[in-house]
Copies of this chain bind each other. A is one copy, B any other.
């Protein structure tokens, strides 16, 4: 595989200091359970999209501290020799469950759970978090932009403004899973099959003695799919005239009709309407209009509302960095330990109720309405609970427990899939294209009220009675005894 690089040393230093400490405190064989969850949906949206699992799987498979890594750590002078020996033979032997890539996800619910020996679970924290946080951020943003475009293709154009190499490469992948049609980033096509697209920059036009020469040369080189960039000098003064001339002289006589023009500046609504009129008057209604220039979901929705004549959008920096909200706040929290086969639930308390964790080893269900197929709510239970799906299902709001709802005709889907069991990969990873299709079908299963951009309906993520009781018992216990 092209992307199976060893990133074992990409970890927060405190994962090493803690692991060495567990080792020396006789806690390295103790089993720990960690949940990944997030607290806030970016951009005030109604849901996020999970992404990044493939990179986590590759990372886990390739875990290996090299001799040089061990020598480097030894040089720090704080790690025990036995611990370094342990690291030299380190591998992940635990279990991981996760929601598939492309799944709509909601605050507070576990989207990935790790069970394993304390050091193993601790040492993989940083990579898991950064991967989920990055790719879920971009998939979520891409899905917003795709929905705003109402069926018009979104080309992801952002590599040059991405936050680093991987921001571009895996960013393009996540954007595709979220619904983008293509990317500018060639390596993401090569690695993940995200279709690469693009035609010319202003430099192409400048390299020729005239704009017209540049356009003719391009149409001759690429008679199919030629999209001419017409704003190097003056869109209406020269750009569109030279483009029309090139199309009519080179392409139309050959019966070729898949060409277009692109603009990357100016007042897009005004310009595209005028361009459409000119192109139609010139007998070129087939000529597509592509636009780019600092677009995002709000600008796209606004352009469509204003009647801009646009066939597809190129979206760059505001997608690839999720500019309006560039952080996805996924966290990795200890929820239980295990001694001699007994699971001991753990809690982290905070003055801020949203920061209090849901303790224990858990399951996540999505409740679908049997008739409409729509997702109604998510339910978190303890792992050993069972739900009698032949009976009605009552759920309640964990903050306002008097708010209750009963489902009569429903289907449950268990959302966390087994990924690793005893260190062995047990999951058949879908392709990026399959994850994209899954994503779009799952977004389709959400009510429009959850999908709207402004003040979306809050989708319920409820706790089972047993989990709620456990949480409140631990809250009471930890506040008084510590």
Interface residues of A (CB under 8 A from B): 5, 7, 9-18, 20-22, 24-25, 27, 30, 32, 34, 69, 72, 78, 118, 122, 125-127, 129-131, 133-135, 137-138, 157, 159-171, 184-187, 189-190, 196-204, 206-208, 210-211, 217-218, 221-222, 231-234, 237-238, 242, 265-266, 317-318, 321-323, 326-330, 332-334, 337, 346-352, 355, 478-479, 482
Contacts and interface: CB of A to CB of B under 8 A. Distances in A.
User: Which 5 A/B pairs are nearest by Cβ-Cβ distance?
Assistant: A164-B166, A14-B198, A163-B163, A129-B160, A326-B326
Contacts of A165: 7, 10, 127, 130-131, 164-166, 170
Contacts of A134: 162-164, 167
Contacts of A30: 207
A125 to B, nearest CB: 7
Contacts of A233: 349, 478-479, 482
A184 B125 CA distance: 13
A163 B161 contact: no
Given A133-B160, A166-B164, A207-B334, A196 B13 contact: yes
Contact of A163 (B9, B122, B137, B196): B137
A200 B20 CA distance: 11
20 contacts: A9-B187, A12-B186, A12-B198, A13-B189, A13-B196, A14-B199, A14-B201, A18-B200, A126-B185, A129-B160, A130-B168, A161-B329, A164-B171, A166-B167, A206-B334, A231-B350, A232-B349, A234-B479, A237-B479, A317-B329
Nearest to A324: B326
B232 A164 contact: no
Nearest to A122: B203
A272 B12 CA distance: 25
Contact of A171 (B5, B163, B200, B232): B163
Contacts of A196: 13
A119 B30 CA distance: 58
A355 B265 contact: yes
A39 to B, nearest CB: 12
A162 B199 contact: no
Contacts of A208: 25, 27
Nearest to A221: B21
Given A164-B171, A221-B21, A317-B329, A185 B12 contact: yes
Contacts of A211: 482
A380 to B, nearest CB: 19
B17 A198 contact: yes
Contact of A333 (B7, B203, B330): B203
Given A130-B159, A348-B202, A351-B266, A197 B21 contact: no
Contact of A327 (B127, B317, B351): B317
